[in-house]
Amino acid sequence: MRILVIEDDPTTGDYLATGLRQEGHVVDLVPDGRDGLLRASTASYDVIVLDRMVPSLDGLSVLRTLRASKNPVPVLVLTSLDGIEDRIEGLNTGADDYLVKPFAFGELSARVAALCRRPPPADEPTLLRVRDLEMNLLTRKVRRAGQEIDLQPREFALLEFLLRRKGRVQTRTMLLEGVWDLHFDPMTNVVETHISRIRSKVEKPFGSPLIETVRGAGYRIVE
Amino acid sequence: MTGLAPRSTPLRLALVVIGVFVLFLAAGLTVAYATLRGTLTEETAGRLEQIVSEIAVIPEAEERIERVRELAAAADPERLLISYAAEGMSAGNVAAPRFDGYGSFGGDDLGRGGERAERYAGWSGTVGGGRLTVLVGQEALAELNAIFAAILGLSVVPATLLTSAIGLVAARRAGARVDAIRTTLGRLRVGDLAARVPPGRAGAPDLDEIAADLDRMAEARQAATEALRQVSSDIAHDLRTPIQRVAVLLERLSETLPDGEAAALADRARDATAGVIETFRVLLQIAQLEGGQGRGLLGPVDLGALLRDITEVYTPAAEESGHAIDLRIEDPVPVLGDRTLLSRLVANLVENALKHTPGGRIALALRGTELTVRDEGPGIPEAEHAAVLRRLYRRESSRTTPGSGLGLALVKAVTDLHGAELALSDAGPGLKVTVRLQAHAA
C-alpha cells in the first residue's frame, strides 16, 4: 500500500513511517500542510495519515481542499484534541477515521489497514468461512466442524466483525466502535471477557484456537 | 403571607407603592371629612341652642307663641322647622314628632308642609310650660357627603386604578427585564459564555446598566476562557507531542531489547508512561469540556439504548469480578446530549462502581431523563461528596486501588457541559449517583 503521512513532529513522523514501512507499506513523510496537499493531489495514495495541526496549512484545510476536488482517498486524522467539535468537524470535513494522540502504534496500524482494505461495494456475502468454521448471515447460524454453535446476538456480531476482517488485527476500541458503536477506551478486561466467552463456544469444544490475541494490539482471525 | 407575595421585586414594590398611595389618600380624606363633619355638627348644635335660648328668654307664653309664629313664617322649611305648644295654643310650620332632647330625623318622616331637607337635627323639650321643638335642616351635611362621594368616585377611584395599572405594567416590564437578566445569568452559570441579555424596551436605565455590566463581564469571561482554551490546546500540541515521542521511544526500546531484566524495565517504563499519558489525556479533556466547547452540537440521544449497550459491554467483566449489572428503564425520553460523551459518563460510573466495590449489584436505572447508578459498596461519606468530583482527588481508602482520581471529575465536566444536574447520595449501603439530563425538545 502507498501511504502519505503528513506530520510535523520529526520523532512521531519518523516512527510512523518506520513502523508502516516495516509492515510492508510504501510511505511518504511530509512535514507541512502545503507540501502534503501538493503530494496528495499529484500522486495516488491508498491512505493519508493527516495530523490536524501542521504548519503552513492546517490539517482540516488540507482535507477540505482534497474533498472539494473530489479526491476520495481514505484519510485518518490524528488529533491532539478530543472535543465534540474536533471530532464532529473532522468527520464532517470528510475524514474516514480519527485517532486521538497519543496512541499506540498497534492502534494506528490496525486502523490504517482497515482503511486500505475498505471492502469494495461488491455483493454482500451470505456465508463467511474460516477453516472449519462457517457463519451463515441469512440464517444467523454458526457451525464448526459441522456442529452447530449457539451464540448470543452480540457474540454473533462480534464474531462476524472479526470474520469479515480476517487476517487484520482489530483493536479493543475498534471492536467497541464496530460492534456497539461506543467510542471510548474501557477498562482492560472488558473486551477480553467478551472474546473469552466466544472462545469458550467456538474453540474450547473443538480443542483448536481460532481467534488470535495480538499482544499490545488486539485480536484477529487467521486462516 | 409569604405564599401570597409575588417573587418579582418590581411587582412587589409596585404593589407596596399602590398600597401606600391608597392608604394615605384614604387617611387624608377621612380626616378632612371628619373635621368638616364635626364643624358642621357643632354649627348645627349652636344654631339649635341659639333658637331655643331665644325662645326661652321670652317671659310670656303668648309672646313666645307669637315669636315662634314669626320665625316659622319667615323660615325656609328646608333650613328650619319649629313648633311650640303651650296652654292649648300652638304655632309652627311642622307637626313635630314627640321626643326629648337632641334627635335626628329624615326629612320624609316629618309630614308634609313645603319642601323638606333630606335630614334634620333637632331639639325638643319643655320651655316655659310648653313644648318647643326646633329642627335644623342639614343640607350642608348632605352636600358634604355628596362632595366627598364625588371626590371618591370621580378622582380617587380612577386615580387609584390608573396608578395601579401604570404601576403593574411598569413592574411587569421591569420584571421581564429582571427575568431576562436572570436567564442570562443562569446560562452563564452553566458555562454558556456566549449568553447575553437581549435588548429590552427603553424605560429602565438602571436595569439596562446592570444588563450592560453583565454583558461586559460575560464578554471578559468568554475572552479569558477562550484564551485559556487556546493555551490548553497549545499545551496539548506542545506537550503531548514530546510525551508521544517518549512513548514511541520506549515502545521501540522494549521491542529491540532482548528478553531479560532490561526489557522488563523498559516495559514498566512504557506502562508508566501510558499512565501519565492517560491522566494527561483526561485532564485535557476535562479542561476542554469545561470550556463549554461543542455545546451547540448537542442533539437527541436515546439514553435507554445507550444504557443497554453499556450494560451488555460490561456484564461479562462485571460477572468475573463478582458483580451483577441490573438495568431498569422507565418512560425513557430522548435527552439533549452527545452520545460519545454520555457513553463515557455512564462507562465511568460503571467502572467506578466496579473498581470501588468488592462485589454485589450495580443498579443502572433510567426514569424519564433521570439516570441513576447505585452500588452496594462502602459508599462515600457525605462530607466528601463535593471533593470526589474535583479532579485528582483520591480518597484515603482508594489510594491503593488503580485509578487517576479523574473518573468522577470527568463525569462532572460532562454533566456541566450538558447543563445537567449531578448529585451523589447515600444508598445505604452504597453510593448512588443521580444525573438529571435535559429532555431534547422535539
Do A82 and B281 lie within an 8 Å CB cutoff?
yes
Q: Any idea which of A26-35, B156-165, B363-372, B384-393 has the lowest mean pLDDT?
A: B384-393
CATH match for B9-142 among 1.10.3470, 3.30.450, 1.10.10, 2.60.120: 3.30.450
Q: DSSP string spanning A105-172? A: HHHHHHHHHHHHTPPPS-PPPSEEEETTEEEETTTTEEEETTEEE---HHHHHHHHHHHHTTTS-EEH
The tens digit of pLDDT for each residue in B97-115 reads 778 888 888 877 777 666 7
Residues of A within 8 A of B343 (CB-CB) are: 182-184
Region B63-86 average pLDDT: 85
CA distance B262 to chain A (A): 19
Q: With bands split at pLDDT 50, 70 and 90, how would you rate the model's confidence at B257?
A: confident
Do B309 and A181 lie within an 8 Å CB cutoff?
yes
The whole-number pLDDT of residue B88 equals 79
Q: Does the A127-221 domain belong in CATH 1.10.10.10?
A: yes
Residue B236, chain A, CB below 8 Å: the answer is yes
Residue B266 identity (one-letter amino acid): A
Strands, E assignment, B38-128? 80-86, 89-92, 101-106, 119-127
Residue B359 DSSP class:
S
Do B251 and A104 lie within an 8 Å CB cutoff?
yes
The tens digit of pLDDT for each residue in A138-177 reads 888 999 988 999 998 889 999 999 998 888 889 888 899 8
- For chain B, what is the mean pLDDT? 83
pTM of the model: 0.61
CA distance B409 to chain A (A): 16
The CA distances from residue B211 to A17, A87, B9, B169, B181, in Å, are 57, 36, 16, 20, 6
Q: How far apart are the first and last CA of chain B?
A: 40
The whole-number pLDDT of residue B396 equals 64
The whole-number pLDDT of residue A31 equals 92
Q: Which of B236, B249, B297 sits opposite A80 (nearest CB)?
A: B236
Residues of B within 8 A of A196 (CB-CB) are: 316
The whole-number pLDDT of residue B2 equals 44
The whole-number pLDDT of residue B1 equals 42
For B115-119, the CB contacts below 8 A with 24+ separation are B115/B76, B115/B77, B115/B78, B116/B77, B116/B78, B117/B78, B117/B79, B117/B142, B118/B142
Share above pLDDT 90 across residues of chain B, in percent, rounded to a whole number: 19
Q: With bands split at pLDDT 50, 70 and 90, how would you rate the model's confidence at B397?
A: low
Do B240 and A101 lie within an 8 Å CB cutoff?
yes
Alpha carbon A37 to its chain's center: 23
Query: Does an H or E element contain B160, and which?
Result: helix B157-189
Do A88 and B297 lie within an 8 Å CB cutoff?
yes
- Cβ-based neighbours of B99, under 8 Å, separated by 6 or more: B122, B124
Domain covering B295-436 in this structure, CATH number: 3.30.565.10
**Number of residue pairs across A and B with CB atoms under 8 Å?**
99
CATH class of residue range A2-116: alpha beta
* Closest chain B residue to the Cα of A192, Cα to Cα: B317
Counted residue by residue, chain A has a size of 223
Counted residue by residue, chain B has a size of 442
Region B19-47 average pLDDT: 88
Residue B344, chain A, CB below 8 Å: the answer is yes
ipTM above 0.90, yes or no: no
More confident residue, A41 or B291: A41
Taking the domains of chain A in order of start, what are their residue ranges? 2-116, 127-221
The tens digit of pLDDT for each residue in A12-44 reads 888 889 889 988 888 999 999 999 999 998 888
More confident residue, A121 or B64: B64
For B207-212, the CB contacts below 8 A with 24+ separation are B207/B174, B207/B177, B207/B178, B207/B181, B208/B177, B210/B181, B211/B177, B211/B180, B211/B181, B211/B184
Whether B407 shows a pLDDT value over 60: the answer reads yes
Residue A102 identity (one-letter amino acid): P
